[in-house]
Structure 1
Amino acid sequence: MLLPIPWECDQVDQIRDAVVQVYDEFQQGIEPDACVARMPRAEEQGADGAAVLRSASSQGGRARHRGGAAFHAPGDWDALIAAFREHKLISGEIKPSTWHRVYRHHMNHVLGAVAVAAPPQNAKQLLEALARIWADKPGGRTRQIQIQSTAALLRWAVAERRLGEDWEPPQDLSVFVGRSRAAKAITTPLEVEHTLALVRAIPDARWRFAFQLMAAYGLRPEELQHLQIRQGRLWCTYEKVASRGKTRPRVLRMLPCDDWADGWRLEERFPTQELPPMQPGLGGGYVGHYLMNRPLWKELRREYEAKGEKLVPYSCRHGYAHRAHVICDLPPKVVAAAMGHSVQTHLAAYSRWCGDDVVDDAFAKAELRLGQGLRAQSSAA
């Protein structure tokens, strides 16, 4: 490929502008040969040839900077999303199963939003188009994930100079997520008596064992597929990737207050007891589907909802955390390590259950401990 400009010292400006033009148009998907073919020959340029090239180059640069025109076509958005997926996986931010389970669905909505007669021309228009998909569910979790994942795509594309600055999404996405008009039910810890009743009511031995594991060790449903015996103890090898980092394998510990689970002999049974088959990355869906078909689970859900609470598979895990703090008096740092997440995540998730009754109980226990300590010191003196 040769530029139609003499390789002379007095042509430096023209050569520079021509190279910039080729670069800009290549970023828009135009092959360099095609770009050069459209340039005027040296004999056609005349005295103002440099100005012609600078004008073409600046127009291409503005088009790219103004709205990322190269990605208005759905095919180009396909390539952009594929590159974004590769970045997320290579960087370790997410696992392939997370892309398949969460991002893929929302990226398909992005492709649908740009594959219209008048596609969005900037970040605001795209986010507004996606928000309209769930216009009847302001503040909903699915709508929130759609907006957040799309914003992440756009920020990455702008940072990589694949889209122009008009595609930079705002930091505050609340206007696109919306605000729910309904009061949000709080997912609630499962009470011990309900845990035991559900164990008795589950007819399938495989699912009963799975439920016992979740209740006794505070497991995420997905973690049922990542258990193994190491040196006679039950371990979870699941690595959850989140914004605060990746969880590490951990030994599973039953709470000192949960003597009701001693008779289950979970570690002893694990090598031979079969668990229900589940597809990797979809453990939560499998557990939720099974429980929703259990009559007692449906009945308990109605009871919890009547109190403004919400019963979900994670309620087993919530119950573990609640007992660890309220009954066992374990500090957040210890409980977070036992459950396989950061202290920040733990506090954000479980501080919501710290009502006045919990605070009063904690103060009463602290007063009792201090009183016993002072009496012991007095006796020693």
Structure 2
Amino acid sequence: MLRSGLRLSLAQRGTSSGWRVSDLRGRTRLTVDAAGGRHQVLLPIEWAHDQADVIRETVLAIHSAHIDGIPLDRAIAAALASDEPAAEPTAEQAAGPIDWPELVERFKARKLSSGAIKPRTWEAVYRRRMAELLAILASKKPPTNPRELLEAVTARWSDQPGSRGRQMQVQQAAALLRWGVDNGALPVEWAPPLDLDPFVGRKREGKTITTPIEVSHILELVEAIPDARWRFSFQLLAAYGLRPEELQHLQLRGGRLWCNYRKNTSRGETKPRPLRLLPCDDWAEAWNLLEQFKAQPLPPMRPGFGAEDMGLYMRRRRRWQELRQQYEAEGEKLVLYSARHGYAHRAHLICELPPKVAAAAMGHSVETHLAAYSKWCGDDVVDDAFERAATRLGR
């Protein structure tokens, strides 16, 4: 009732349709949908019926200032500063400046005592980033609000928008602030923005092109995988060009192995399909996968997380690590999908299957197939295809 009443009241007073308020852990959250994206901020106002007038007038003041051209952050700060000048100081304000090193130690103690992380995780993942955070807060002109702090911690990542390091720095800084506010160690004004994407940024470079795995490396990995269940999983990926998630959707039907996985894409839903070994893959025939499937159980994997679970297991295999480094040294990238890419590569280069046939065997559209695999069709591949065609035609 409070939410709907405020929405109607704000609309009647002239706020834009993209402005709304809601409850977040007992406090008022302001959400603004603008041309630049969605902005959310936690206001230091209790979400309660007796605060409805305060919430409404504060949001109207912010909206009025923003319409006049003042940036949203500054409009919010101005509205809150002029709201109740005679307000009593919070316990944190009365206690003086924030002791950030002590806050970090308390945050660490809670993380460890709750079992959320292990000591070695703190040392390997958190300690360096917390030290960088404290250095910024101890500078001559330290940040005075959460947005300034998040902007400061991303300064050294300015040329790496969207990078994993920048993402983790932002997330851990926000986690510290959020924990501090939730546990009363920080005033509510230090609550981090709910949307961290503007601080993380987006990668400018395109996706790294992953590489078809070579058959010799497939055979090496099969020999190097000690667990029969995971070894069988990798054999299925390599022999049938499966997506890792499809391992959990296999079924024997009419003496053939079928994949019942349905993937929703912009081009429609994929259909169940029978799995086929490529005519060139005699090494896969020797594995006798149909008989194995009847007797060999697959490893436990979480539904929807097949790629993550199998990826974790493979990253712990020494030979996989060595091959990844070898591929990277050659400017390429080895991932689980490299087994699927290898299937497509052999289907075209060795078996000379048309794209329509290869796409059907792999369970996706011709458009998806061409978009994903045409990148490997260099001049050498084209020349080889023309030579084979000439040979077939006797010219």
TM over 0.5: yes
Aligned partner of 1:29 in structure 2 is 4
CA positional deviation for 1:185: 3.6
Distance between the aligned counterparts of 2:220 and 2:272, measured in 1? 31
More helix by share: 1
CA positional deviation for 1:350: 1.0
CA positional deviation for 1:139: 5.1
Aligned partner of 2:204 in structure 1 is 180
Aligned partner of 1:68 in structure 2 is 18
2:388 equivalent to 1:331:
no
Structure 1, 202-211 or 68-77: larger mean CA deviation: 68-77
Where does 1:127-138 land on structure 2 (aligned, <5 Å)? 136=157, 137-138=160-161
2:221 equivalent to 1:269:
no
Please report the TM-score for the alignment, with normalisation by the length of structure 2: 0.56
Distance between the aligned counterparts of 1:359 and 1:141, measured in 2? 37
Aligned partner of 2:34 in structure 1 is none
Distance between the aligned counterparts of 1:134 and 1:325, measured in 2? 45
Aligned partner of 1:357 in structure 2 is 380
Q: 1:297 to 1:243 in 2, by over 3 A?
A: same
Please report the TM-score for the alignment, with normalisation by the length of structure 1: 0.58
Q: 1:277 to 1:326 in 2, by over 3 A?
A: same
Distance between the aligned counterparts of 2:11 and 2:218, measured in 1? 67
Where does 1:39-118 land on structure 2 (aligned, <5 Å)? 60=12, 62-63=14-15, 66-71=16-21, 74=24, 114-117=40-43
SS at match of 1:235: strand
CA RMSD after TM alignment? 4.1
Distance between the aligned counterparts of 2:338 and 2:203, measured in 1? 25
Structure 1, 227-236 or 238-247: larger mean CA deviation: 238-247
CA positional deviation for 1:70: 2.3
Unaligned runs of 5+ in 2: 32-36, 45-58, 74-146, 168-196
SS at match of 1:298: helix
1:70–1:76 Cα contact (<8 Å) kept:
no
2:331 equivalent to 1:308:
yes
* Percentage of matched positions with identical amino acids: 55
Aligned with residue 221 of structure 2, among 198, 202, 218: 198
Q: 1:140 to 1:77 in 2, by over 3 A?
A: farther
Aligned partner of 1:39 in structure 2 is none
Aligned residues: 259
Aligned with residue 255 of structure 2, among 232, 235, 242: 232
Structure 1, 184-193 or 312-321: larger mean CA deviation: 184-193
Structure of higher RCO (CA pairs closer than 8 Å, 6+ residues apart): 1
Q: Which amino acid aligns with 2:330?
A: K
CA positional deviation for 1:180: 3.2
Q: 1:322 to 1:115 in 2, by over 3 A?
A: same
More strand by share: 2
Distance between the aligned counterparts of 2:386 and 2:282, measured in 1? 25
2:246–2:259 Cα contact (<8 Å) kept:
yes
